[in-house]
Amino acid sequence: MPELPEVETVRAGLAPAMEGVRIAQAAVNRPDLRWPFPRDMARRLTGARVERLRRRSKYILADLDTGETLLIHLGMSGRMLVSGDPLGQFVHDHPAAEKHDHVVLDMENGARITFNDPRRFGAMDLMQTATAESHKLLAPLGPEPLGNAFDESHLVSALAGRNTPIKSALLDQKIVAGLGNIYVCEALFRGGIHPARRTRRISRARTASLVPIIRDVLRAAIEAGGSSLRDFRQADGNLGYFQHSFDVYGREGAPCRTPGCSDTVRRIVQSGRSSFYCPSCQR
């Protein structure tokens, strides 16, 4: 499932074709994905102007001039693809329709935004912009890891008194929004912390040190266009490249990249997810 860097990469790719542009025609080609589409979604989107395209955690939010916000979740295999952009930043022609093109937005500037999702684990919803933060998917979320609210004092306070593996704690969306398996593995490697170490056994200083590390990992991934594992593509159809910079994720049995370390990357399973780490560098 795309994590924060992948979703932010898609948002940035959609923005030139969508922000400030009216939706000339919206087409909804099936009644549901992960859950049913909102009532009359095509009619409510047609004619609406996209005022702003933003991201909250792993969700893309399109604020419309109708007072509604379109929420988009890519799920496991969802892709938002742009074609026919008049700015020339994407492919020039609209491709032929595909079986899994579930929602198509034809913009007034000639761009076409296609939401393609073969596995249908993605989702779209419409909500009132004024109360968007109270939506059931957004209300429980913690602070954004690249925002000011996510700082050393927040993380130390959020983990105080807990006795859970640090990997599980950082995946808790109520503590910090948008982190997933890949980037938590990478951040813990850089922080030298074993993914199974209990939070109560990590000093306040080491906990606090994870904040800038998490920020650095996410910023590097966004700059690389995210990580392309299986289905992820950017809005222009290109792959992301951060997977070539992984220190531990997916590298079981490979040499540790820390200079002077002769150990190899190991894998353990935590709550059904693979955790990758170096047993010598992470304690």
Catalytic residue list contains 2 = yes
Q: Which of 58, 112, 190, 233 is catalytic?
A: 58
Residue 3 is a catalytic residue: yes
Catalytic position from the list 2, 5, 16, 195: 2
Note whether 159 and 199 are within 8 A (CB): yes
Catalytic residue among 144, 197, 273, 279: 273
Q: What is the sign of the dihedral through the CA atoms of 186, 59, 230 and 81?
A: negative
Alpha-carbon distance of 229 to 97, in angstroms, equals 24
* CB proximity list for 207: less than 8 A, separation 6 or greater: 152, 155, 156, 159, 199
What are the residues whose beta carbons fall under 8 Å from the beta carbon of 68, sequence distance 6 or more?
44, 48, 126, 127, 128, 129
Known catalytic residues are 2-3, 58, 273
